Chains A and B, each alone.
Chain A
Amino acid sequence: MIEEKVLENPLLEGLALERHVDSLSFVIFGAHGDLTKRKLVPAMYALFLQGLLPKGFALLGTSRTPMTDEAFRNLMKESLIKFAPDLPFEEDSWARFASSLYYRSTDSSKPEGYEVIKSTLAELDSKHGTKGRHIFYLSTSPSLYLPIIQGLAASGMVTKVKASEPAWPRVVIEKPFGHDLASSIALDEHIHEVMREHQVYRIDHYLGKETVQNIMVFRFANGIFEPLWNRNHIDHIQITNAETIGVEGRGAYYQEAGALRDMIQNHLLQLLALVLMEPPIAMDAEATRDEKIKVLRCLKPLTPGTIDRYAVRGQYGAGFIVGAAVPGFREEDSVAPDAPTPTFAAIKLEVDNWRWAGVPIYIRSGKRLAKSVTEVAVHFKKAPHRLFSGDKCEAEQQENILVMQIQPEEGISLKFATKQPGPTTMVRWLNMDFKYGTAFGARTPTAYERLILDCLIGDPSLFARTDFVEASWQYIEPLLEHWDNQKPGDFPNYKAGSWGPKAADDLIGSTGHAWRKL
């Protein structure tokens, strides 16, 4: 129907009209929290300034904290100015945006709270013409996901639609999606009792990053790389997520989560899938997600007998980060003095499929490492015949490396050999660098801007599907269990400001490789 109407209006032709968003109300649970202030409302305001929000739009924030609409608007305004300095803030524009912001104090553990939200949404439907289309964003503690979804269902605000029907209402949940395989399956089962999968948007902000999305473009829009993207030409792949920060006030959460749950099960396995997947048959949500899940299903399972050869854990002790003394993990606030939590994990993965058989994939993720960097490094095989050798040739022990840098500087670099000018043949290895920041000067939208817009439109491509979440837990589960059962005797085993435990070097060294020096 929309298509027909657009064709009837000849004035629309040639206008760069953005993707269509239906009128809707957007409800944020946990609206007094940090995520709302730092990310969600700034992202909404950025979309508003770009004309990407529908005319019929209302944002309803809710949490336990008592607050009036006006106080909520003022709080969001202050947060916007503080946390989104790159957005042009002007009073008139803000006033127009703020007129669609509302707040209700509710207790999500009590049915009365949902009645308040329901009656408010009815008012907003009438006032803003949002036509009963609602999105519920759960920016809360994961323990509240299920009670809130069940509360929404009990009050009739969330209903299960047919698979062929438009996905209204929608629910957006933040990671972690469960604490382990069993809890993830249980959460999904409960969610699917009241909603269809296409109504659920599991947000993984990594997938909203420009460079992560660029992995697909880089692989499938360039003709030269895909023919090399297999076991015949690639020696191994390293995926690194290194952070200099510690637990930053999230000690209690992190003590329970650890590196596996916090980073690897979600962000890094998503990255891995994008790098290793087959070309999707189309650029639609299901085709892409179908290919990604196939990668996880091809991962060689870890078993108690192999784990110690395939995975390493670590925990930071006191050390120095950029010249400043920092405490060890067990000295952090809200962390037990004998906490066995791994703050570092490295895994060697093997992919049992035609394309990747025999190509080891190394993943490492850690806190309080020497440098903050996230990247995917594809190490190509060395030239088959060494023509250039001798004292002056760096060619030995080197190979072409293609690096996709995710953060802090988004970009791509290719390491290649070249002849150093001079009377003898001296081989030098150089990097050809491309940096997003220097090639495209325009403001890069935040990951939340992209993901929220996709959710408003109803495009789940960049959101995690239930089978991916389950498969990722399935892969990680034996490791979690093994490490839970075998308490670490050597923690802390790396100093803050280092590159992790020595065992991680031994892990990659066992196949004759070495971690990249970053």
Chain B
Amino acid sequence: MSSMPVLKNAPDEGRTLSFLSGNLAQVDVAKIERELNRLWDSAGRAAGEEDLAWKPVIRACALNMVLLCEEENERKFEGLLSEITVRHPCRAILAVIASAPVEKVEAWVTAHCHFLPGRLDKQMCCEQITVKWSGTAFVSTGLASVVTPLVIPELPSWLFAGSKQLTRAVIEPFLSYLDHLLMDSRISGAADGKINKELVISLISNLQIAMDLAEHAVVVDLAWLTLSAWRKAIALAFDHTDVSILPARLQAIETITIKYGGYAAGFSQALLLATWLTTRLKLRADSGQVSQNQTNSASKSGLTALFKSESGSQSVNVILHEADNLSAGVNSFEMTFGDGDDKLNVDFAGGALKVSNDGSEEYMELPWSSTRDKEGAGEPAFTELVDFAFEHSAKDPIYLAAAKGAGDLLKLISQGSK
């Protein structure tokens, strides 16, 4: 055998180090995969060499995560991806919508590297691809045509709709390749707390998108996930293992009062919690109105509604009430019954949910480590909520029913206010 010269791509150490350090390297849109392979190849080849500027790396990927957002939120979502990849190794694709006079598509690649727990000799790295679409009018199919071929087949794939343009037309082109949609139906309004007609329409639209797109993908709504501890606490109060109100008394509920903070976003959550209960109890919205109360300090919004059972035998008043000095999201829950003077209350106490009824009290630890033992704070950190979302891999008909219930009530209110 004649000796052959070793053909070796001299690794571009500087470029590889920059890549592994989290710096964005611009690449040709048509050659994203090739460039990534070259960089990983370089990182891997050099791993056995001495005097390296980086520690050996493991390229890890257990899912695809496409994050759609506007340019102004690009940094925020990059930070989110950096944190998510610690716990969920993935191929992260940041699809950015930018306004520019000239239409163009650009791409960058980088890596998020973390030392493995307890080891300083090895790093786990996930790749991030940023694809930016710039133009005067956003064309979703254009951006999707770059992004969707980058999705690694046979792995779970998630689209996080972080864009303000939460419309079916924007989302749908991506969903033909992705099987989970992560969205947030919460609306954000003015700090005056007023729930105006535009916000109501916006919330109806968000909920409708969730229901429509549930045909194509598993829809996970972050607003809904924030309610999981509340739902569990309320449900278990009627279970024999907990506060133990007889389940039959669900038919005797008279009023449901939910206090919330966080303005319009909190309103969205309180409404979903209320309609979760009414849909589980098979109650339909009969009437309702958005309310405005003037307090000493500010104008506070809320909602009152009447729900009735099919037979008309049960009527339940639902009151959503924004209160002073409350932290974001649902803050307290109260239920009264027509067959007794007792009440079911769920409140924050000592960083847990305190469930009380008729002198009996139980505590339920919150599932969020980011809020544990933080007095008055029940909303998890955003990254923890997204972590939690990844545990949801199946369609959730209970959520869809609650979303429909909320949408129906808002439509009723909207029609009544015309």
Which residues of A sit under 8 angstroms from B306, Cβ to Cβ? none
Which residue of chain B is the closest to A18 with respect to CB atoms?
B232
Contact call B231/A15, Cβ cutoff below 8 A: yes
- Taken residue by residue from 351 to 367, chain B's Cβ proximity to chain A (1 for < 8 Å, 0 otherwise) reads as 11000000000111101
Contact call B241/A55, Cβ cutoff below 8 A: yes
Which residues of A sit under 8 angstroms from B242, Cβ to Cβ? 55
Identify A51's interface contact among B1, B248, B367, B399, CB under 8 A: B367
In this assembly, does A476 line the interface, its C-beta being within 8 Å of a C-beta of chain B?
Answer: no
In this assembly, does B116 line the interface, its C-beta being within 8 Å of a C-beta of chain A?
Answer: yes
Which residues of A sit under 8 angstroms from B308, Cβ to Cβ? none
Stretch in A90-98, A224-232, A293-301, A503-511 touching the partner: A90-98
Which residue of chain A is the closest to B237 with respect to CB atoms?
A11
**A1-49 residues at the B interface, CB under 8 angstroms:** 2, 5-6, 8-17, 20, 23, 48-49
Which residues of B sit under 8 angstroms from A51, Cβ to Cβ? 232, 364-365, 367
Contact call B238/A9, Cβ cutoff below 8 A: yes
Q: How many residues of A are in contact with the other chain, CB < 8 A?
A: 40
In this assembly, does B324 line the interface, its C-beta being within 8 Å of a C-beta of chain A?
Answer: no
Which residue of chain A is the closest to B401 with respect to CB atoms?
A14
In this assembly, does B239 line the interface, its C-beta being within 8 Å of a C-beta of chain A?
Answer: yes
In this assembly, does B142 line the interface, its C-beta being within 8 Å of a C-beta of chain A?
Answer: no
Say yes or no: A93-B372 contact (C-beta < 8 A), given A11-B231, A14-B397, A439-B60: yes
Which residues of A sit under 8 angstroms from B250, Cβ to Cβ? 9-11
Contact call B58/A435, Cβ cutoff below 8 A: yes
In this assembly, does B87 line the interface, its C-beta being within 8 Å of a C-beta of chain A?
Answer: yes
**A429-488 residues at the B interface, CB under 8 angstroms:** 435, 437-442
In this assembly, does B88 line the interface, its C-beta being within 8 Å of a C-beta of chain A?
Answer: yes
CB of B58 to closest CB in A, whole Å? 6
In this assembly, does B277 line the interface, its C-beta being within 8 Å of a C-beta of chain A?
Answer: yes
CB of B180 to closest CB in A, whole Å? 17
Alpha-carbon distance between A438 and B87 when the two chains are bound, in angstroms: 8
In this assembly, does B396 line the interface, its C-beta being within 8 Å of a C-beta of chain A?
Answer: yes
In this assembly, does B124 line the interface, its C-beta being within 8 Å of a C-beta of chain A?
Answer: yes
In this assembly, does A132 line the interface, its C-beta being within 8 Å of a C-beta of chain B?
Answer: no
Which residues of B sit under 8 angstroms from A91, Cβ to Cβ? 373
Alpha-carbon distance between A11 and B242 when the two chains are bound, in angstroms: 14
CB of B60 to closest CB in A, whole Å? 4
Which residues of A sit under 8 angstroms from B367, Cβ to Cβ? 50-51
In this assembly, does B89 line the interface, its C-beta being within 8 Å of a C-beta of chain A?
Answer: yes
Contact call A439/B89, Cβ cutoff below 8 A: yes
Contact call A9/B373, Cβ cutoff below 8 A: no
**B162-195 residues at the A interface, CB under 8 angstroms:** none
Which residue of chain A is the closest to B84 with respect to CB atoms?
A441
In this assembly, does A88 line the interface, its C-beta being within 8 Å of a C-beta of chain B?
Answer: yes
Contact call B247/A8, Cβ cutoff below 8 A: yes
Alpha-carbon distance between A96 and B350 when the two chains are bound, in angstroms: 10
**B1-47 residues at the A interface, CB under 8 angstroms:** 1, 4
Alpha-carbon distance between A12 and B58 when the two chains are bound, in angstroms: 42
Alpha-carbon distance between A126 and B377 when the two chains are bound, in angstroms: 34
Contact call A12/B239, Cβ cutoff below 8 A: yes
Alpha-carbon distance between A5 and B231 when the two chains are bound, in angstroms: 18
**B70-123 residues at the A interface, CB under 8 angstroms:** 86-89, 116-117
Which residues of B sit under 8 angstroms from A442, Cβ to Cβ? 87, 387
Alpha-carbon distance between A112 and B116 when the two chains are bound, in angstroms: 52
Which residues of A sit under 8 angstroms from B89, Cβ to Cβ? 438-439, 441
Contact call A92/B62, Cβ cutoff below 8 A: no
Contact call A6/B239, Cβ cutoff below 8 A: yes
Contact call A93/B351, Cβ cutoff below 8 A: yes
Say yes or no: A9-B241 contact (C-beta < 8 A), given A15-B232, A93-B365: no
In this assembly, does A54 line the interface, its C-beta being within 8 Å of a C-beta of chain B?
Answer: yes
In this assembly, does B235 line the interface, its C-beta being within 8 Å of a C-beta of chain A?
Answer: yes
Contact call A440/B62, Cβ cutoff below 8 A: yes
Which residue of chain A is the closest to B372 with respect to CB atoms?
A90
Identify A92's interface contact among B116, B280, B352, CB under 8 A: B352
Which residue of chain B is the closest to A53 with respect to CB atoms?
B365
Alpha-carbon distance between A438 and B228 when the two chains are bound, in angstroms: 28
Alpha-carbon distance between A55 and B89 when the two chains are bound, in angstroms: 36
Which residue of chain B is the closest to A7 with respect to CB atoms?
B247
Contact call A438/B86, Cβ cutoff below 8 A: no
Say yes or no: A9-B239 contact (C-beta < 8 A), given A92-B351, A96-B352, A439-B89: yes
Alpha-carbon distance between A429 and B87 when the two chains are bound, in angstroms: 31
Alpha-carbon distance between A391 and B1 when the two chains are bound, in angstroms: 10
**B243-288 residues at the A interface, CB under 8 angstroms:** 247-248, 250, 277, 280-281
In this assembly, does B398 line the interface, its C-beta being within 8 Å of a C-beta of chain A?
Answer: yes
CB of B203 to closest CB in A, whole Å? 22
In this assembly, does B369 line the interface, its C-beta being within 8 Å of a C-beta of chain A?
Answer: yes
In this assembly, does B418 line the interface, its C-beta being within 8 Å of a C-beta of chain A?
Answer: no
Contact call B235/A9, Cβ cutoff below 8 A: yes
Contact call B232/A17, Cβ cutoff below 8 A: yes
Contact call A90/B241, Cβ cutoff below 8 A: no
CB of A326 to closest CB in B, whole Å? 23
Alpha-carbon distance between A337 and B362 when the two chains are bound, in angstroms: 59
Identify B365's interface contact among A17, A48, A423, CB under 8 A: A48
**A243-301 residues at the B interface, CB under 8 angstroms:** none
Identify A13's interface contact among B232, B351, B398, CB under 8 A: B398
Alpha-carbon distance between A441 and B236 when the two chains are bound, in angstroms: 30
CB of B12 to closest CB in A, whole Å? 20
CB of B368 to closest CB in A, whole Å? 10
Which residues of A sit under 8 angstroms from B87, Cβ to Cβ? 441-442
Alpha-carbon distance between A433 and B275 when the two chains are bound, in angstroms: 47
In this assembly, does B234 line the interface, its C-beta being within 8 Å of a C-beta of chain A?
Answer: yes
CB of A47 to closest CB in B, whole Å? 11
Which residues of B sit under 8 angstroms from A20, Cβ to Cβ? 241
Which residues of B sit under 8 angstroms from A92, Cβ to Cβ? 350-352, 372-373
Which residues of A sit under 8 angstroms from B241, Cβ to Cβ? 20, 23, 54-55
Contact call B398/A49, Cβ cutoff below 8 A: no
Alpha-carbon distance between A93 and B248 when the two chains are bound, in angstroms: 32
CB of A233 to closest CB in B, whole Å? 25
Which residues of B sit under 8 angstroms from A23, Cβ to Cβ? 241
Alpha-carbon distance between A54 and B241 when the two chains are bound, in angstroms: 8
Which residues of B sit under 8 angstroms from A12, Cβ to Cβ? 235-236, 239
List 24 A-B pairs, Cβ < 8 Å. Answer: A5-B240, A11-B234, A11-B250, A12-B235, A14-B397, A15-B228, A15-B231, A16-B228, A49-B365, A88-B369, A92-B350, A92-B352, A92-B373, A93-B351, A96-B352, A96-B363, A437-B116, A438-B58, A438-B60, A438-B89, A438-B116, A439-B60, A439-B62, A440-B62
With A9-B247, A439-B62 known, 12 other A-B pairs at CB within 8 A are A5-B247, A9-B250, A10-B250, A11-B231, A11-B280, A12-B236, A13-B280, A14-B399, A15-B232, A15-B235, A95-B350, A438-B60
**Chain B positions near chain A (C-beta within 8 angstroms):** 1, 4, 58, 60, 62, 86-89, 116-117, 124, 228, 231-232, 234-236, 238-242, 247-248, 250, 277, 280-281, 350-352, 362-365, 367, 369, 372-373, 387, 391, 396-399
The 4 A-B residue pairs with the shortest CB-CB distance in the complex, in nearest-first order: A441-B87, A14-B398, A90-B373, A11-B235
